A and B are shown apart, each in its own frame.
Chain A
Amino acid sequence: MNAKRLIRRSLAVLLMGWLTAGAALASERWVVLGGDIAETLAALDADINVIARDDTVVHPPAMAELPSVGYLRQLSAESVLSFKPDRVLAAGHAGPKEVLEQLAAVDVSVEIINAPPTLNAIADKVRAVGRLTDRRDAAEALAVALSDKLDWLASMPVLPTTRAMFIMQHSGLTPRAAGSDTAAHSALEAVGLANAFAEMQGYHSVGAEALARQAPEVVIVSERGLAAMGGEAALWQLPGMALTPAGREQQLIVVDDQALLGFGPRTPDQLLTLRQDVEALLGASTSIHNSTAQLSP
């Protein structure tokens, strides 16, 4: 008797779920949190009704035009709920975690795409978003295409050892260099550059003497970071920069950090672009390989 009822019930639930799954996706109100997730949705051409985003969503323009719920890492539950979402699709670094818990507590379905900031995770991320938005085939194709690009990048000939520094700079304060355990570090390694500041972990301000000692031969900075610093001239005038090979030769590469470090679907292309820029720079520079004595730390 009970078993019968249970079976009947579960069948009914399954049927309901199956009937509503396709139709619901298009009618549900989604909030997307995280630039990489938004880019993945766009790349998959997911047919979902996105009504709001967070401040880190700057691409594609159609997503960037949506109203924002605030900054990805400082969400407030009521501001997200004021858009009356049915579902929230969030990057793993969205937070605070309590706010996501609060959203789940009021029966919003919260999906968190937990992916480590590594290149290998890009394909997983695409597949996960594909599963959630009923775009499995498109996601599989995109994941394979992105992995192929990354494989191609990895199979390129080894560059001569070149010490690079990535300056992460989002305000007018002291420049912060990327150490190991950062997205920037993974990007440098992927294109075959050596991170001059690999000894430290995370992003930290670096002083003039440390700059001179680590002797980067190439400086990589984002467009926004360069603008915040006050342009290229200001960059070369940073204390200690003149004592580095990069400063002497003024070897600079400007990148779109959102695309490069977001570890979304645009990242592999951006890495290939960076690789080309590096090759062009190394080909153009004559003195780069005989000017630097590798200092052992």
Chain B
Amino acid sequence: MIAILHTGRFRVQLPVSRTTRVLVGLTVTLLLALGWAAASGALGISPWEVLRGQADPLSVQVWWQLRLPRLLLGVAVGAMLAGSGAAMQGLFRNPLADPTLLGLASGAGLFVAVWIVLFQDSGAGSLYGQFAAGFLGALCVCLIVFGIAKRQGGGSAAVMTLLLAGLAINTLAGAGGGVLAFIASDEQLRQLSLWGMGTLTNALWRTTALALVLIAVALWLLMRSARELDLLQLGEATAHAAGLDAARLKRRVVIATSLGVGICVALTGVIGFLGLLVPHCLRLWLGPGHRLLLPASMIGGALLLVVADTLARTVAAPAEIPVGLLTSLLGGPYFLYLLMRRNRAC
């Protein structure tokens, strides 16, 4: 079976065997990275010894209680951010759509911060509150951005409008965060400082287990949209003629992205640029078909975040570098490079 896609300039042929090859290759690489990550940290623990039951009790405890949930959270958050980046780029038909750039992440962060400062009474339920606040924040921003995108046609004007909308939302969220930091108590301020730069340091089973389930649901919703996203690339009218229910597709992607990104932000703060960097690099390599691009982005995002987080944990041990700092250092320059290339093309 061969899927042929027409995009602006080139035709891509995707034999299924290649899809399988790529995904299996990426998965194996991710497993290798996980093996390395499982064996690295401030404490020298060999996962083999832990799994074979030959390690000392402390190492076993640390590995099961601290390192494993952190690795899984890294996989889930990386997959979610990169997957939602790929899906949003497909939905907006705009190569620069990304949860960080469009302000989804900072919107979620702002809502979570509002929840912490104004509503949270420390105790049970605060985690669910944070998740709900993150989801609502991301959803609000998503709807605003959609409203703006709808009024624009296609073309480079739309790309710029979307970026400016994201800039405005990020600025507003930053200002809101500043106001909250001003009125927050010492205790709350420390909780808020997480939103400056993302980190996976708070991975506990108590918080991670639920997040893994919800993120898995969001990823599954995105995967179900792959074929329809491919249709949408042909243009709304053509897609409609081919029987695509665009409104339903948009609803599904928006809900999945807001849910996933909201939960990621509630747990780990803003880890920037994964949603831009990973789908872009993969699109250059694999072409624009979403049935391959979406799962590849998810695995690639997981891979990048697990590697970045392992570096964050080990480079400056015993201190920890916020992993969001690392991803932004990678992604920021890449974003600038993309903008420059666009300008040359115009």
- Nearest chain A CB to B72's CB is how many angstroms away? 15
Q: How far is the CA of A119 from the CA of B222 in the complex (A)?
A: 56
Q: Report whether B201 and A98 are in contact in the complex, using a CB–CB cutoff of 8 Å.
A: yes
Q: Report whether B320 and A76 are in contact in the complex, using a CB–CB cutoff of 8 Å.
A: yes
B42 lies within 8 A of chain A by Cβ:
yes
Q: Report whether B66 and A77 are in contact in the complex, using a CB–CB cutoff of 8 Å.
A: yes
- Name B320's contact: one of A79, A102, A202 (CB within 8 Å): A79
Residues in B neighbouring A84, C-beta threshold 8 A:
58
A135 lies within 8 A of chain B by Cβ:
no
Q: Report whether B186 and A202 are in contact in the complex, using a CB–CB cutoff of 8 Å.
A: yes
Q: Report whether A105 and B66 are in contact in the complex, using a CB–CB cutoff of 8 Å.
A: yes
Q: How far is the CA of A271 from the CA of B3 in the complex (A)?
A: 79
Residues in B neighbouring A82, C-beta threshold 8 A:
42-43, 317-318
Chain A proximity mask over B181-203: 1 for CB below 8 Å, otherwise 0: 01001110011001000000110
Chain B proximity mask over A42-77: 1 for CB below 8 Å, otherwise 0: 000000000000000000000000000110011011
- Nearest chain B CB to A158's CB is how many angstroms away? 31
Residues in A neighbouring B62, C-beta threshold 8 A:
77-78, 81, 106
Measured CB to CB, the nearest residue on chain A to B57 is: A107
Q: How far is the CA of A202 from the CA of B194 in the complex (A)?
A: 20
Q: Report whether B204 and A76 are in contact in the complex, using a CB–CB cutoff of 8 Å.
A: no
Measured CB to CB, the nearest residue on chain B to A69 is: B318
Q: Report whether B58 and A78 are in contact in the complex, using a CB–CB cutoff of 8 Å.
A: no
- Name A79's contact: one of B65, B182, B202, B317 (CB within 8 Å): B317
Q: Report whether B318 and A98 are in contact in the complex, using a CB–CB cutoff of 8 Å.
A: no
- Name B319's contact: one of A70, A95, A101, A204 (CB within 8 Å): A70
Q: Report whether A106 and B201 are in contact in the complex, using a CB–CB cutoff of 8 Å.
A: no
- Nearest chain B CB to A32's CB is how many angstroms away? 16
Q: How far is the CA of A70 from the CA of B194 in the complex (A)?
A: 17
Q: Report whether B204 and A101 are in contact in the complex, using a CB–CB cutoff of 8 Å.
A: yes
- Name B58's contact: one of A70, A93, A98, A106 (CB within 8 Å): A106
- Nearest chain A CB to B36's CB is how many angstroms away? 16
- Nearest chain A CB to B148's CB is how many angstroms away? 36
Measured CB to CB, the nearest residue on chain A to B317 is: A79
A99 lies within 8 A of chain B by Cβ:
yes
- Name A98's contact: one of B67, B187, B204, B313 (CB within 8 Å): B204
Residues in B neighbouring A73, C-beta threshold 8 A:
190
Q: How far is the CA of A98 from the CA of B194 in the complex (A)?
A: 12
Q: How far is the CA of A204 from the CA of B182 in the complex (A)?
A: 8
Q: Report whether B319 and A76 are in contact in the complex, using a CB–CB cutoff of 8 Å.
A: yes
Measured CB to CB, the nearest residue on chain B to A67 is: B318
Residues in A neighbouring B65, C-beta threshold 8 A:
102, 105-106
Q: Known interface pairs A73-B190, A96-B190, A102-B204. Does A79 touch B319 (Cβ–Cβ under 8 Å)?
A: yes
Secondary structure class of chain A's binding surface, majority of residues: loop
Q: How far is the CA of A102 from the CA of B202 in the complex (A)?
A: 9
B61 lies within 8 A of chain A by Cβ:
yes
Residues in A neighbouring B57, C-beta threshold 8 A:
107
- Name A95's contact: one of B41, B43, B190 (CB within 8 Å): B190
Q: Report whether A78 and B202 are in contact in the complex, using a CB–CB cutoff of 8 Å.
A: no
Q: How far is the CA of A6 from the CA of B327 in the complex (A)?
A: 56
Which residues of B, 29-61, contact A by the 8 Å Cβ criterion? 41-43, 57-58, 61
Q: Report whether B320 and A81 are in contact in the complex, using a CB–CB cutoff of 8 Å.
A: no
B341 lies within 8 A of chain A by Cβ:
no
Q: Report whether A93 and B186 are in contact in the complex, using a CB–CB cutoff of 8 Å.
A: yes
- Nearest chain B CB to A18's CB is how many angstroms away? 24
- Name B42's contact: one of A79, A93, A202 (CB within 8 Å): A79
Residue from B42, B58, B318 with most neighbouring chain A CB atoms (10 Å): B318
- Nearest chain A CB to B114's CB is how many angstroms away? 19
Q: Report whether A96 and B42 are in contact in the complex, using a CB–CB cutoff of 8 Å.
A: no
Q: Report whether A81 and B204 are in contact in the complex, using a CB–CB cutoff of 8 Å.
A: no
Given A102-B66, A107-B58, A202-B186, 14 extra CB contacts under 8 A? A70-B319, A76-B313, A78-B67, A79-B320, A81-B42, A81-B66, A84-B58, A93-B187, A98-B202, A98-B207, A99-B202, A105-B66, A107-B61, A204-B182
Identify the B interface with A (CB < 8 A): 41-43, 57-58, 61-62, 65-67, 182, 185-187, 190-191, 194, 201-202, 204-207, 313, 317-320
15 contacts between A and B (CB under 8 A): A70-B318, A73-B190, A76-B201, A78-B62, A79-B320, A81-B66, A84-B58, A96-B190, A96-B201, A99-B201, A102-B66, A105-B65, A106-B61, A106-B65, A202-B186
